């Protein structure tokens, strides 16, 4: 059988799209990346100013997917992985008027003031509880059933704020935390499952999945630059506003120079699909667009000389029950090198989220005042005189994998069957972390490489 020549359109030059392009380039498959902005990288952007190196988007990833480890190995000649310092292992939780370390084991979980005594007793009994039977159970429901309310309020809720800037009562465990869901379903218990998994043998590849926090020396832009270099800059078309595709029954045609493609991959947000693909039924688009996005403000804060409390931790998270206006603070310069002057500090302060979306609309002056008040109270500053303060707003920051997820995924599956060669990727499915994006990108590329008939 004669092989067909594949010509692939990738919409979105973020981490997902560039990972797809990287592996297609290796396989010798023709592709074009379309990006609506004037630069590749999507939400990833590193900035250098006044002696600080800071990110306007994600600050770090986690080495919890083999595909992420392998991509970074593939790019080692063009960017260098930076694994976070040991300080990153400590996480703080705000309770009442102080930070408390998030316990990292059963013994510390029993002695911490974060949890109530009855819930500590519940923790001891967790391995003996029956596993859940509701596939649409929310994370809040699961935690209340297995561990208790104080664990929900002072461990899971801040954890969710740090990852999704979301609400555990609206995130469905099976879709938002598939590994956690499988831990209970496969082993019957979180604690028992974790212990059993720790004794399972790992091959050499699995041992590379260290679950360490990582960035790239000099900032995450260097990861993007390495991907662009290895996919060839000429294959990436920037400033593609008003882009759309039509489907003629056998191929996809863009309105940009009438380019024809055997495959079209969307690696952008669900809210952009209707304009890009007018051939998709509007009801099916509604099924996909029911998914919510959190709205987040990130404030990069730099001090040439830090005069607050010691910042020997990854950062601090503020549970929703504490009723403070921030989600948390990352202590970037405590665990990544060369991000601030030697005696200084670089922080990332997060506000907004799914339960406080109105904050993203506040003027800069009000956000600055909130940040000033919160940093002084929580980090012990007597004077607030930052040498750097930059505000970034994201109205579609992080998709929330809620009760609509099954309908969304079923709809995506039906669309990909209805239009052969059409692939909906991006963070509307398969996870939101950097490693998730890399894994999805590599798997999409593999599927296209194998589609030669």
> Tell me, what's the pLDDT at 63?
96
* b/e sequence 214-250, b meaning 16+ C-beta within 10 Å: bbbebbbbbbbbbbbebbeeebbbeebeebebebeee
Asked if 280 and 26 count as a contact pair (C-beta separation under 8 A), the reply is no
C-alpha span between 413 and 353 (Å, rounded): 29
Write the CATH number of the domain with boundaries 102-205: 1.10.3110.10
Asked if 142 and 132 count as a contact pair (C-beta separation under 8 A), the reply is yes
Helix (H) or strand (E) holding 46: strand 46-49
Using DSSP's 3-state secondary structure scheme, residue 34 falls into: strand
> Tell me, what's the pLDDT at 5?
57
Kind of pairing, strands 7-11 and 263-266? parallel
The answer to whether 7-43+66-75+220-291+401-450 and 102-205 have equal CATH topology is no
- Around 150, how many Cα atoms within 13 Å sit in the side-chain half-sphere? 16
> Tell me, what's the pLDDT at 66?
97
Report the predicted TM-score, pTM, of the whole model to 2 decimal places. Answer: 0.94
Asked if 165 and 353 count as a contact pair (C-beta separation under 8 A), the reply is yes
208-212 LR contacts (CB < 8 Å, sep 24+): 208/63, 208/66, 208/69, 209/63, 209/64, 209/65, 209/66, 209/69, 210/63, 210/83, 211/62, 211/63, 211/64, 212/62, 212/63, 212/83, 212/84
Query: What is 7-43+66-75+220-291+401-450's CATH topology?
Result: FAD/NAD(P)-binding domain (3.50.50)
> Tell me, what's the pLDDT at 382?
95
> Tell me, what's the pLDDT at 1?
34
* Helix locations, 27-156, DSSP H: 66-74, 106-111, 117-125, 139-146, 149-151
C-alpha span between 313 and 346 (Å, rounded): 13
Per-residue pLDDT tens digits of the chain, which is 453 residues long = 334 456 999 999 999 999 999 999 999 999 999 999 999 999 999 999 999 999 999 999 999 999 999 999 999 999 999 999 987 789 999 999 999 999 987 778 888 999 999 999 988 889 999 999 999 999 999 999 999 999 999 999 999 999 999 999 999 999 999 999 999 999 999 888 888 888 888 888 888 999 999 999 999 999 999 999 999 899 999 999 999 999 999 999 999 888 999 999 999 999 999 999 999 999 999 999 999 999 999 999 999 999 999 999 999 999 999 999 999 999 999 999 999 999 999 999 999 999 999 999 999 999 999 999 999 999 999 999 999 999 999 999 999 999 999 999 999 999 999 999 999 999 999 999 999 999 999 999 999 999 864
- Around 13, how many Cα atoms within 13 Å sit in the side-chain half-sphere? 30
Nearest Cα neighbor of 169 from 184, 186, 157 is 157
DSSP string, 245-273: EEE-SS-EEESSTT-EESEEEE-S-GGGH
Give CA separation, 146 vs 101, 121, 166, 180, in Å.
22, 11, 21, 12
Helix (H) or strand (E) holding 350: strand 345-352
The end-to-end CA distance of the chain, in Å, is: 7
Domain range annotation of the chain? 7-43+66-75+220-291+401-450, 102-205
> Tell me, what's the pLDDT at 4?
46
Nearest Cα neighbor of 168 from 327, 355, 314 is 355
> Tell me, what's the pLDDT at 449?
94
> Tell me, what's the pLDDT at 86?
87
- Those residues with Cβ within 8 angstroms of residue 287's Cβ, 6 or more apart along the chain or in another chain: 404, 407, 408, 411
* b/e sequence 127-156, b meaning 16+ C-beta within 10 Å: bebebbeeeebbbbbbbbbbbbbbbbbbbb
Asked if 84 and 60 count as a contact pair (C-beta separation under 8 A), the reply is yes
Asked if 130 and 192 count as a contact pair (C-beta separation under 8 A), the reply is no
> Tell me, what's the pLDDT at 89?
86
């Amino acid at each position: 059988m004669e092989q067909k020549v594949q010509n692939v359109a990738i919409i979105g030059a973020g981490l997902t799209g560039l990972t797809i392009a990287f592996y297609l380039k290796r396989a010798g498959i023709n592709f074009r990346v379309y990006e609506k902005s004037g630069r590749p990288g999507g939400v990833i952007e590193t900035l250098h100013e006044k002696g600080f190196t800071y990110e306007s988007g994600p600050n770090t990833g986690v080495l919890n997917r083999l595909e992420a480890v392998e991509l970074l190995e593939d790019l080692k000649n063009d960017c260098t992985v930076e694994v976070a310092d040991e300080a990153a292992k400590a996480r703080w939780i705000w309770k009442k008027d102080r930070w408390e370390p998030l316990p990292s084991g059963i013994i510390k979980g029993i002695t911490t003031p974060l949890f109530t005594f009855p819930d500590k007793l519940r923790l001891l009994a967790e391995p003996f509880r029956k596993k859940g039977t509701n596939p649409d159970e929310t994370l809040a429901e699961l935690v209340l059933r297995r561990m208790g309310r104080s664990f929900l309020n002072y461990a899971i809720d801040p954890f969710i704020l740090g990852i999704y800037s979301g609400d555990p009562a609206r995130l469905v465990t099976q879709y938002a935390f598939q590994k956690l869901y499988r831990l209970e379903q496969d082993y019957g218990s979180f604690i028992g499952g974790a212990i059993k998994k720790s004794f399972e043998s790992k091959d050499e590849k699995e041992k590379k999945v260290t679950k360490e926090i990582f960035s790239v020396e000099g900032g995450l832009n260097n990861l993007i630059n390495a991907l662009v270099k290895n996919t060839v800059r000429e294959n990436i078309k920037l400033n593609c506003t008003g882009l759309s595709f039509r489907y003629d029954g056998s191929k996809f045609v863009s309105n940009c120079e009438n380019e024809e493609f055997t495959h079209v991959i969307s690696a952008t947000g669900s809210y952009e699909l209707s304009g890009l693909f007018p051939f998709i039924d509007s009801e099916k688009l509604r099924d996909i667009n029911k998914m919510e996005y959190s709205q987040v403000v990130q404030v990069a804060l730099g001090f040439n000389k830090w005069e607050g409390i010691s910042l020997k931790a990854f950062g601090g998270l503020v549970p929703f029950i504490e009723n403070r206006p921030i989600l948390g603070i990352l202590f970037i310069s405590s665990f990544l090198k060369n991000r601030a002057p030697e005696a200084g500090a670089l922080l990332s302060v997060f506000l907004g989220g799914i339960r406080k979306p109105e904050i993203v609309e506040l003027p800069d002056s009000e956000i600055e005042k909130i940040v000033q008040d919160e940093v002084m109270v929580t980090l012990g500053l007597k004077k607030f005189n930052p040498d750097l303060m930059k505000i970034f707003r994201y109205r579609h920051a992080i998709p929330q994998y809620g009760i609509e997820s099954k309908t969304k995924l079923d709809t995506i599956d039906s669309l990909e069957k209805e239009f052969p060669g059409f692939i909906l990727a991006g963070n509307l499915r398969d996870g939101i972390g950097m490693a998730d994006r890399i894994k999805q990108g590599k798997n999409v590329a593999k599927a296209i490489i194998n589609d030669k008939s």
